Amino acid sequence: MSDEPTPPEQKINQSQPAEQKSQIAPFFLKLIIGGISVYIVIMLGFIILTGTREARDSMRRKEIKQNLTQIGIALEQYAAQEESDESSLPSK
């Protein structure tokens, strides 16, 4: 019985797992590379968002400081004007 040639159907069935393995390996390789790529893109996004958030906060602090400076200047001018107006009023 061992001298009989194997039918072509059995040859196909025997070689099929090897073909499936060779097809599965590239698929998993692509899947792993794709997963790593997605992970890298997400991490870069977090880094960029963190950097822009810090820059935005810094600009906001600078703007608030400038606004407070302007308010201080306006109050000084108002106080100086009120003092000059009081001195120009006739006394009773």
pLDDT, tens digit, for every residue of 27-83?
888 999 999 999 999 999 999 988 899 999 999 999 999 999 999 999 999 999 988
Residue at 89 is within a domain: no
In angstroms, the CA 63 to CA 1 distance is: 93
Residue at 50 is within a domain: yes
> Model pTM?
0.47
Token digits of residue 49: 């968002």
Residue at 6 is within a domain: no
Structural domain for 60, as ranges: 26-82
In angstroms, the CA 27 to CA 79 distance is: 77
**b or e along 20-58 (b: 16 or more beta carbons within 10 Å of the residue's beta carbon)?**
eeeeeeeeeeeeeeeeeeeeeeeeeeeeeeeeeeeeeee
Residue at 92 is within a domain: no
* Domains held by the chain: number: 1
Residue at 48 is within a domain: yes
Residue at 2 is within a domain: no
Residue at 45 is within a domain: yes
